[in-house]
Structure 1
Amino acid sequence: MNQDIQETQEQEAIEQAPVQNENGFAKLELSEQIMQAVTEMGFTNPSPIQAEAIPPILAGRDVIGQAQTGTGKTAAFGIPAIELIDVAERHPQVLVLCPTRELALQVADEVKKLSKFKRGIRVEAIYGGDSIERQIRSLKTGVHIVIGTPGRVMDHMERNTLKLDNVRMMILDEADEMLDMGFREDIESILEEMPAERQTILFSATMSKPIMAITKKFQNDPVLVKVVKTELTNTNIEQVYFEVKPKAKIEVMCRLIDMHNLKLMLVFCNQKKRVDELVESLQVRGYSAEGLHGDLRQAQRNNVMSKFRSGVTNILVATDVAARGIDVDDVDAVINFDIPLDEEYYVHRIGRTGRAGKSGKAFSLVGKDEKYRFREIQNYTKVKVEKGVIPSFEDIVGLRKARFIDQVKETIEQSQDLNLYEDLLTALHHSGFTTEQIVAALVKRSMGIEKNEFSDQNLGLEDDRRGDRFGRNDGPDRGSRFGDRERGGRFGDRDSRRGEGRFGDRTDSRRGEGRFARNDGPDRDRGGREEGGRKGFFDRDNNRAPREREANMVRLFVSIGRRDYVRPGDIVGAIAGEANIPGSTIGHIDIFDKHTLVDVPREHVNKVLDAMEDNTIKGRRVNIEVAR
């Protein structure tokens, strides 16, 4: 369809009227350029959020859109934004704020596609981790639509390289996520700097009190558009879970890949370290896999995503935060190697397959200590996920044999030069091998499958009767190759692997750089707090004693302080981003010259300590431990 449209466009006269009559977007009275773009993108009818939100936005009204990821909200605000642009005016006319650089890039890409036929429109994504000098040069040449993260937008405002005097439309995308990440103060600062005569559009999956406070303060008689999916998960997605011995997860995943002949898939882990180890294990097994997490520089991320989109890499292993903004339509399956810590993450994960009307698969590998969490996910999504049967080693061997036979048949039928190789059989016979031995050896080399420690085992949980073993030694943190050298179990004795505390005789040789998952780069350091008054937690008195802890909170010691120019938002962003916990759950923060004390909920302490181990804040390596 796209090819036909492109061929038509190459002709001097482009007749789009017949297409418009068939396209439901025509009812929205859009410009011819937008109609061409949506048709080329394969859109035939607007989604509910698009049908409800586009008319009032085009009419100039402020809009509150309640919609989840995957409902088409980018086009819902992107189309009216493009229609608003006066190309002759070479300055920012639309500003879109997004919580992460991945989402900013995704939105920018979508807006560029939608504006393809409106000549002269310039779109720029600005975010931390990318060269600010390059962004400055681009902004100076004249940009109409700016899409950015709050931290980097504030940086450009302070440098006077982004002026908002002529912005006519302000869009907050995934506003609830931005507040959870501690961006409230930044958002309010940006809105206060904008012209009073502007249109403000806000999209959020939830309507919390902080969200409503922002709408009341900064919107003028907004129209509420509420579109909630009747089902949180796509009916085109086949969801199956497997109860797996944690140490056998990699083996089971590889069997599923072979059994279903998966070509392009996303695999999700809860920790960055797990991503790296899983990628290494898959590569050792011969799979083309790459990892994506917050430690990667933007150039590395772009390289990984380019290879994945082009099919050079067919397995992308990622953390939830790093995967935000991934938009690839042809993903065959999503595999939850780790069960997510948040029900919403499950919805976001599996929503990356089964797109554009295609079918997809979602496989979840559930360890013993993850069973309860997965039941909570099913209750949340209101979908009964079927329990699958783990393919046996014999199943995989039989399947590969059948595929090998098909490949041999195809080669024989289609090749014209087989006579070049016919003498090899005779030569091998002269070496004393039988035809059966020769064929078996060639098949083995081609199939690359060998027996391993799991070949003759039952890998499901129902076969385990060894009590506490999986709670401590093979907990849900561990895959088949992670071995006893890894963590000793998340639920075991932490001190056994921390020595005499985290400030003992540890060297920096193992510590990486830039390990700030939710960070938008070095400039995303302004995240405020959910409640306006929390700013007062910044300690101004070196001699003041830290305040008392709230109930059910644990105080953590962080080896970074005021002399490092750290602010509360830096602490919130780092902990919330790395540990995947809501920023709003983090309690008091007391910042002293050389250290910081931060209160976190007791149930998240181990998760935070694991996530922040050998990590950085504001580019400085930090140690973190329970305060004495």
Structure 2
Amino acid sequence: MTFKELGISEDISKILRNNGIKTPTEIQEKSIKDILNGKDIIAEAQTGTGKTLAFLLPVFENINPTSKTIECLIITPTRELAIQITEEAEKLKAGKDIGILSMYGGKDIGSQLNKLKGNIQLIIATPGRLIDHIKRKTVDLKKLKTIIIDEADQMLLMGFRNEIDTIMKERPKKVQTLCFSATMDSAVKKLAYRYMKEPLVISVKKEEVTLENIRQEVVETTDRLKREALFTVLDEDNPFMAIIFCRTKRRADELEVVMHRRGYNCKVIHSDIPQNKRERIMKSFRNADIQYLIATDVASRGLDISGVDNIYNYDIPEKVETYIHRIGRTGRAGEKGYTCLFIDPNDSKILADIENKIKFSIPRRSI
């Protein structure tokens, strides 16, 4: 199926082609037509399935650039996701006079207030900052046509239920509501059905990320010798771009200090890093100006970064699902990926759980 067959105009299809996107993904094929036709949708789709374009493309088809009111609101749980969605939206507008505003904590509220004096048709916001504007009466959602809740499961996990309720009270009675979530448990369904009218339920399972395109290895070491083992592996592999996952912010900070001292081109990202600095780091990493991104799971959640060759699990994650989520950041779009997991004797049970889940005994790497 082509984007044209889904109802996407030639102007937008051309922008997609210029960005290397020629055919729709499964979630896009299943949802775009119905979104264009004004249906409410609950979609189960993870990062990496093309879900952002699944809702942005119909939004840009339906948006009126001459409108003096906010037509579409996208609510997302983290600043990083708000930034990513905004970057995708800016690409799609390509010369059209569509007002896009990104709202999240840690960014100067004054600049947002100035922008709101002009014509803004699309807002991409985290719940807390959006409520700030609602209370200030600087944002009016009464003329909304479409509201999108992105990463609904993470929204609930992070305790944003009351904020969502507050925001939804501000919307008009007649509004299209879309809910996207990586998982579709009872809490997500309850949230969605509370605000929707006869929604279509769409489910797209993520492609298996554990075996087909990703070569996995384990390095057996001790916590004391782990750092040197990591450096040996990095020197042998010398990947173009890689992410190194650590269990805690403190361990990530300590590793960055030592790696920087050793001359590695690296930066650390976690929730204690100031927001403007995190934005600069992520931009540099996407531009391949940084070779190694040292990250915690929370800071990297939802980030879809192309070009990552290797994933290094410096610390084994506590949950099997987290391991699968981490290594799924490589081996994308048919490309080959590599992941290396460093374990000490205390990690044997979690490793056994991982191998049992993926039905695969991960080969050991000797260094």
Shorter chain as denominator, the TM-score bin is over 0.9
CA distance in 1, matches of 2:203, 2:30: 8
Counterpart residue identity of residue 256, structure 1: V
The answer to whether the 8 Å contact 1:269/1:317 transfers is: yes
Counterpart residue identity of residue 226, structure 1: S
The answer to whether the 8 Å contact 2:217/2:365 transfers is: no
Q: 1:261 to 1:230 in 2, by over 3 A?
A: closer
Q: Report what 2:120 is aligned to.
A: 143
The offset of 1:385, in angstroms, is 5.0
The offset of 1:48, in angstroms, is 0.7
Q: Report what 1:82 is aligned to.
A: 60
Q: 1:78 to 1:344 in 2, by over 3 A?
A: farther
Is 1:33 aligned to 2:25, yes or no?
no
**Which of the residues 352, 362, 366 maps onto 1:386?**
362
1:282-335 CA distance string (max 9 Å, x none): 112221111111111122212322332333321110111111243331112111
1:246-289 CA distance string (max 9 Å, x none): 21222122222222221211111111111110001111222111
Counterpart of 2:219 in 1: which secondary structure?
A: strand
Q: Report what 2:242 is aligned to.
A: 265
Q: Report what 2:103 is aligned to.
A: 126
The answer to whether the 8 Å contact 1:234/1:354 transfers is: no
CA distance in 2, matches of 1:163, 1:70: 32
Q: Which has the larger radius of gyration?
A: 1
The answer to whether the 8 Å contact 2:59/2:72 transfers is: yes
How many residues of Structure 1 are paired with residues of Structure 2 in the alignment? 367
TM-score by length of 2: 0.95
**Which of the residues 198, 205, 216 maps onto 1:221?**
198
Q: Report what 1:54 is aligned to.
A: 32
Counterpart of 2:4 in 1: which secondary structure?
A: helix
Q: 1:317 to 1:54 in 2, by over 3 A?
A: same
Q: Report what 1:73 is aligned to.
A: 51
Q: Report what 1:370 is aligned to.
A: 347
Q: 1:92 to 1:345 in 2, by over 3 A?
A: farther
Q: Report what 2:295 is aligned to.
A: 318
CA distance in 2, matches of 1:253, 1:39: 39
Q: 1:230 to 1:357 in 2, by over 3 A?
A: closer
The offset of 1:121, in angstroms, is 1.6
Is 1:114 aligned to 2:92, yes or no?
yes
Percent identity of paired positions between Structure 1 and Structure 2 = 38
The alignment's C-alpha RMSD in Å is 1.7
Q: Report what 1:405 is aligned to.
A: none
**Which of the residues 81, 92, 117 maps onto 2:70?**
92
1:36-63 CA distance string (max 9 Å, x none): 1211121121111110011111111000
Counterpart residue identity of residue 384, structure 1: F
CA distance in 2, matches of 1:263, 1:285: 18
The answer to whether the 8 Å contact 1:106/1:325 transfers is: no
The offset of 1:348, in angstroms, is 2.7
1:512-563 CA distance string (max 9 Å, x none): xxxxxxxxxxxxxxxxxxxxxxxxxxxxxxxxxxxxxxxxxxxxxxxxxxxx
**Which of the residues 224, 227, 231 maps onto 2:208?**
231
Q: 1:90 to 1:370 in 2, by over 3 A?
A: farther
TM-score by length of 1: 0.56
1:555-609 CA distance string (max 9 Å, x none): xxxxxxxxxxxxxxxxxxxxxxxxxxxxxxxxxxxxxxxxxxxxxxxxxxxxxxx
Q: Report what 1:277 is aligned to.
A: 254
Q: Report what 2:177 is aligned to.
A: 200
CA distance in 2, matches of 1:124, 1:68: 24
Within 5 A, what are the aligned runs for 1:217-616? Answer: 217-229=194-206, 231-233=208-210, 235-380=212-357, 382-384=358-360, 386-391=362-367
CA distance in 1, matches of 2:99, 2:302: 21
Q: 1:217 to 1:116 in 2, by over 3 A?
A: same
Counterpart residue identity of residue 96, structure 1: I
CA distance in 2, matches of 1:260, 1:232: 21
The offset of 1:345, in angstroms, is 2.4
Q: 1:73 to 1:247 in 2, by over 3 A?
A: same
CA distance in 1, matches of 2:109, 2:129: 9
Counterpart residue identity of residue 110, structure 1: E
CA distance in 2, matches of 1:256, 1:141: 53
CA distance in 2, matches of 1:351, 1:140: 42
Q: 1:342 to 1:129 in 2, by over 3 A?
A: farther
Counterpart residue identity of residue 65, structure 2: V
Counterpart residue identity of residue 344, structure 1: E
Counterpart of 1:335 in 2: which secondary structure?
A: strand
Is 1:178 aligned to 2:149, yes or no?
no
1:95-121 CA distance string (max 9 Å, x none): 11111111111111122223325x112
Counterpart residue identity of residue 389, structure 1: R
Q: 1:376 to 1:143 in 2, by over 3 A?
A: farther
Counterpart residue identity of residue 132, structure 1: I
Counterpart residue identity of residue 281, structure 1: V
Higher relative contact order structure (alpha carbons within 8 Å, sequence separation ≥ 6) = 2
The offset of 1:234, in angstroms, is 6.8
The answer to whether the 8 Å contact 2:286/2:306 transfers is: no
Counterpart of 1:251 in 2: which secondary structure?
A: helix
Q: 1:97 to 1:383 in 2, by over 3 A?
A: farther
1:471-492 CA distance string (max 9 Å, x none): xxxxxxxxxxxxxxxxxxxxxx
Counterpart of 2:178 in 1: which secondary structure?
A: strand
CA distance in 1, matches of 2:361, 2:4: 39
Q: 1:284 to 1:202 in 2, by over 3 A?
A: same
CA distance in 2, matches of 1:269, 1:320: 8
The answer to whether the 8 Å contact 1:282/1:289 transfers is: yes
Counterpart residue identity of residue 135, structure 1: Q
CA distance in 2, matches of 1:44, 1:127: 32
The answer to whether the 8 Å contact 1:69/1:348 transfers is: no
The offset of 1:178, in angstroms, is 0.4
CA distance in 1, matches of 2:42, 2:256: 41
Counterpart of 1:242 in 2: which secondary structure?
A: strand
Q: 1:204 to 1:325 in 2, by over 3 A?
A: closer
The answer to whether the 8 Å contact 1:236/1:360 transfers is: yes
Which runs of at least 4 in structure 1 moved beyond 6 Å after TM superposition? none
Counterpart of 1:364 in 2: which secondary structure?
A: strand
Q: Report what 1:484 is aligned to.
A: none
